[in-house]
Amino acid sequence: MQFYDMHSHILPNIDDGAKTLEDSLKLLSCLEKQGVTNVCLTPHFYTNEISIEDFIAERAEKFEKFKPHIPNGMNIVLGTEVYVTKYLFNNENITGINYGNSNYILTEFAYNSTFSGNSYEMLDRLMSEQGLIPVIPHVERYSFLVDNPDVIEDLKRLGVVIQTNISNYTKKAPMMKRRRMLKLVSAGLIDIIGTDAHSFSHNTPELYSDAIECIAKKCGRQAVDSLMKNSEKIFNAAIG
């Protein structure tokens, strides 16, 4: 089975993730040793701080410097973790910050969002005006969604993809939180997983295998298969 990391901050020297090329390569090596050979680089883009043109140019510059050092056998897709604000919609076309050549886009909102009103309107605009499929990262940080899984169901019916971080599915996670997140996985409300790796001290990728083992044990191997198939679909679309 192919394993995927759909959310990481491994691209060096662009955000609060990996700072140096050496840091990035160590993080990739850690994933590779666990059998994870398909990795999405999704640096932060704060739409209220920098123009989309400047961000894309900076990301391209950093990636071009990084590409020659990517280990053989490691498949990389370039994307963005977009903090969605009203400023994003000042751009007529936002192509270039999605996952590679796909129409999927990693979209972060304020963590107190209820995904009604303003946040719902922005999701709708991304889909209806830009033809994009939003991927909500680290769903566990949105307490309203975790407390109201029916809202997650509504979002999924609209076509929204739900991502969760591996840190929720290891022995280091609080037991009650782990149980709640595993329940969402069992219910089919989680689509893809990612490390959200910044470093070995901030969302370390070292726990990927532990998370897979936990999900397989508690939710069944078919749950892991589903997570990877969903990831494969997005990853392959990104490669084009």
Alpha helices in 67-135 (DSSP H): 117-128
CB-based contacts of 179, cutoff 8 Å, min separation 6: none
CB-based contacts of 2, cutoff 8 Å, min separation 6: 37, 38, 228, 232
Q: What is the CATH number of the domain that holds 8?
A: 3.20.20.140
- Give the per-residue pLDDT at 212: 98
Total domains present in the chain: 1
- Give the per-residue pLDDT at 189: 98
Render pLDDT for 135-186 as a digit per residue (tens, 0 to 9): 999 999 999 999 999 999 999 999 999 999 999 999 999 999 999 999 999 9
Render pLDDT for 57-89 as a digit per residue (tens, 0 to 9): 999 999 999 999 999 999 999 999 999 999 999
| Partners of residue 41 on adjacent β-strands | 78
* C-alpha to C-alpha distance for 135 and 128, rounded to whole angstroms: 15
Alpha helices in 46-142 (DSSP H): 52-66, 117-128
- Give the per-residue pLDDT at 86: 93
Q: Are 175 and 144 in contact (CB under 8 A)?
A: no
* C-alpha to C-alpha distance for 232 and 80, rounded to whole angstroms: 18
Its pTM surpasses 0.95: yes
Render pLDDT for 88-132 as a digit per residue (tens, 0 to 9): 999 988 989 999 999 999 999 999 999 988 999 999 999 999 999
Render pLDDT for 21-54 as a digit per residue (tens, 0 to 9): 999 999 999 999 999 999 999 999 999 999 999 9
* C-alpha to C-alpha distance for 205 and 233, rounded to whole angstroms: 22
- Domain that includes residue 40, residue range: 3-239
